Structure 1
């Protein structure tokens, strides 16, 4: 063993033992080990228990038979049986139901059809005819959120079943025949189906969420690539490709000028990236898009806004920026986005951060474009406002903070040797 090797081994050993080498990354890993499951699992493990104010319609169509009152009786019993803290049951007409469904404003509807009283009266009279029952419809809205159908039916189906049993215990008392008594033991059946089925190649309602994930990740990861590559081009840090290390001569730029250069790269990349994503999704994967230009413009603006924000965070926080960006744009944004689980079915923390997390309006805008025909009620205008404000806010904050940094000579980015 040569003296040079022993010296290098001692240096490596001393470096590895120094707390400044191992403690910071270990501390960060332990924090992530607690924070990530708290964010992802804590927000999704108990959607039924977290349910608060899920908007659901109660629709009683005008009845073709009069004097029975069974439709109103069932509606009142369902309304009484629902936990109004978990479910916001809204009375509306069938026309209003369709309008609210097509705007993504309600997650389902309990609909009592127009022939309900007539069918109950026919069963109660024991009149001859085919053995059919009255029907209560649970109209689902799979476009509203991936888990909305399961949450809606999982909560409302037991309530409707209990009403069916209660009505079945009451009606046979006045039945004229044994056959009528048997038929009225369960006076109605329940039909569950989407009011407006989703087309093919939409991933059963998941395409919106995953398209949003692609856009956000491209903006966030793109910024994570642009930041070090531009720094390397300026000579601020070396470029490393495998065993090769390249160090360019340092080009002194202020923090603000460097940030503007990175912003420009992101703004050039955003529309090109959005076009490639949409081309692959529509032409290769056959995802249906009713408004291609709206989707393209919204996607390009989303990538640009996320990249501007992530680059601003890099410029302000430096080495802490990857963690902050990951939590803000990905970790906390996923659960609060309403892409898979309605925000109403998440814990209170996620309902609060959903008001400013960027992925929520991105999902809403994409859902409007891809599923709801870009109607005003579906929230596309509000989504555009959030995206534009987010991008402008990133630029304003970036200019102000980096401008303040540039005023202090000790905050210069010119590489200097740090000695202890």
Structure 2
């Protein structure tokens, strides 16, 4: 009879003890203060970082590479070529800070647009002088307007054409108006109203891609979004591999829904754990890259002219990003997800030149782009998908950047975790870590008292 009474009397006391522990845990600032500060810090920094690089491209334009082409004219004009004079006026009228104007010949224009070195070009065609002379002669018949071409390069990004047009359209309008005034002053007597109207607006501007992209390229954004896919494969893969391997070694429990499993602890050094995670992402990378390419190409219809080269580059990208993210986890622990998010996503997007060229983002992002991995990945994919790996299109530099990311990650990881392994205070095994062993002893003692 006494034993049930003892049990019944102990239950309320145990319940009160648990409630007290829960209350102390919830109300202690150490429980909630740091997580709230982290969320608020992310809420401040992510919009500032991401929107700060993308919110005002026209106001940040600096040194957009644009060509100026005067094709050899078909007829000589006494007193000098109006086409050459118009080119001089355009060169003098552009904003030298916003536009890096390069005078090139037609063959050079095609080559530079073909490898992405030029974002566009103003091209004065070979019949410009001849058509302008016919316009000034007031001959019978409908006047034929000369045309000035604004050649765009959609392979450099969907926004580039708009940025170039926004900078050059006012210049072309102004020089056209000035030329029209001069032509009106020299108009022959008896010119018809139609002829005078044509002289007032002596040329029209036609904007079009010199080499249009094929269908299913996202208007020049497919390379950027494919780069995002590859970076996320490496980053998310690393984020999954890191806790799964720690759970496999018994360092962390495995929790899936209501099921919680704790494997027997297998003591691995930090170095052994990190190398095993590296090997897994390296083995998974070629398969992941092949599956992504299968979906993008045969399933969705994205044009892929060099499938083997694309697969090799994608495999290297996934592996390098995964190795880098795993190194960050090993070096920074609980801060790893935040650091990876900022480095591989928040800072990487505005500095990648995927949708907005680097010449149209604030200077901070142009500096960050030198170390951010997504910028060379986008350049490499553009070279493979749009420029047929042409020399100067960025593929060689992309390979060096991806290899550099992998090498730096391995070197930093080896040095850092090896140093951690030599410090007793950072040992993962509870019995080898004095701080953790003490905490575990206190926890066991507290449990006995509560019991």
Is 10-19 or 186-195 further displaced after alignment? 10-19
Aligned to 1:164: 176
1:373 to 375, 388, 397: 388
Aligned to 1:19: 29
Offset of residue 72 of structure 1? 1.6
Distance in 2 separating the partners of 1:73 and 1:390: 49
1:319 to 300, 316, 334: 334
Structure-1-length-normalised TM-score: 0.97
Is 206-215 or 120-129 further displaced after alignment? 120-129
Aligned to 1:212: 227
Pairing 1:108–2:120 present: yes
Aligned to 2:161: 149
- Structure 2 CA distance for partners of 1:385 and 1:343, relative to 1, 3 Å: same
Offset of residue 2 of structure 1? 5.2
Distance in 2 separating the partners of 1:285 and 1:383: 25
SS of corresponding position for 2:208: strand
1:87 to 99, 106, 119: 99
SS of corresponding position for 2:96: coil
Number of residue pairs matched by the alignment: 420
Distance in 2 separating the partners of 1:58 and 1:211: 32
Aligned to 1:300: 315
Offset of residue 418 of structure 1? 6.2
Residues 172 and 180 of structure 1 are in contact (CA less than 8 Å); yes or no, is this contact kept in structure 2? Answer: no
Aligned to 1:8: 18
Offset of residue 315 of structure 1? 0.6
Distance in 2 separating the partners of 1:186 and 1:316: 66
Is 15-24 or 66-75 further displaced after alignment? 66-75
Pairing 1:192–2:207 present: yes
Residues 125 and 180 of structure 1 are in contact (CA less than 8 Å); yes or no, is this contact kept in structure 2? Answer: no
Q: State the Cα deviation string for residues 45-78 of structure 1 (Å, max 9, x = none).
A: 1111111111000111111122252112211111
Aligned to 2:302: 287
Aligned to 1:223: 238
Q: CA RMSD in A?
A: 1.4
Distance in 2 separating the partners of 1:227 and 1:88: 46
- Structure 2 CA distance for partners of 1:132 and 1:314, relative to 1, 3 Å: same
Offset of residue 417 of structure 1? 5.3
Q: Report 1:329-340 matches (<5 A).
A: 329-340=344-355
1:344 to 356, 359, 372: 359
Distance in 1 separating the partners of 2:167 and 2:16: 70
Distance in 2 separating the partners of 1:108 and 1:134: 20
Which of the pair has more CA radius of gyration?
A: 2
Pairing 1:34–2:49 present: no
Residues 70 and 83 of structure 2 are in contact (CA less than 8 Å); yes or no, is this contact kept in structure 1? Answer: yes
SS of corresponding position for 1:387: helix
Q: State the Cα deviation string for residues 229-255 of structure 1 (Å, max 9, x = none).
A: 000000001000111111011111111
Distance in 1 separating the partners of 2:417 and 2:411: 10
Distance in 2 separating the partners of 1:86 and 1:62: 28
SS of corresponding position for 1:191: strand
Structure-2-length-normalised TM-score: 0.91
- Structure 2 CA distance for partners of 1:23 and 1:418, relative to 1, 3 Å: farther
Segments of structure 1 that go 5 or more residues without pairing to the other structure are none
Offset of residue 180 of structure 1? 2.8
Pairing 1:53–2:68 present: no
1:124 to 136, 140, 151: 136
Q: Report 1:126-141 matches (<5 A).
A: 126-141=138-153
Pairing 1:237–2:237 present: no
Pairing 1:271–2:281 present: no
